[in-house]
Structure 1
């Protein structure tokens, strides 16, 4: 979970990290988080952990919007939507 959050959080100056650019690592950003999430790890996480991740991302999205960081908030919104869909699939 921490790895996923690290990939989608803004860098230290508050600017959103462009997809594919996290700390100079190739393949970072949301795309990398999604690749990792699409693997077997997401299905192995307990439902409670996924719920907690979604709540954390939702809080961060609201903070970003309040700080007028709308592009970042929209990226978080999309990530939350994807996680909720996957959680629904896991729960059946």
Structure 2
């Protein structure tokens, strides 16, 4: 897919020009916490000296590496992140 990033970016720029506004290309990330199949809460071991609090979800945090960021930049994509917690 990286091989096509520049062409995708050119197409996104063309669509932005036709529409008259940016935002024709985006990556949407949605995370939902407290899924019934989620892992049990573990309060026994600290993480790098930090205290785990009751009710704190076990899967906090995520990472985009330089390659992913470069792909987003080259494709002129915006990043939209939604996170929901139920409980």
TM-score, structure 1 normalization: 0.24
Greater relative contact order (Cα 8 A, min sep 6): structure 1 or 2? 2
The structure with more helix, counted as a fraction of residues: 1
Larger gyration radius, structure 1 or structure 2: 2
Please give the TM-score of this superposition, normalised by the length of structure 2. Answer: 0.24
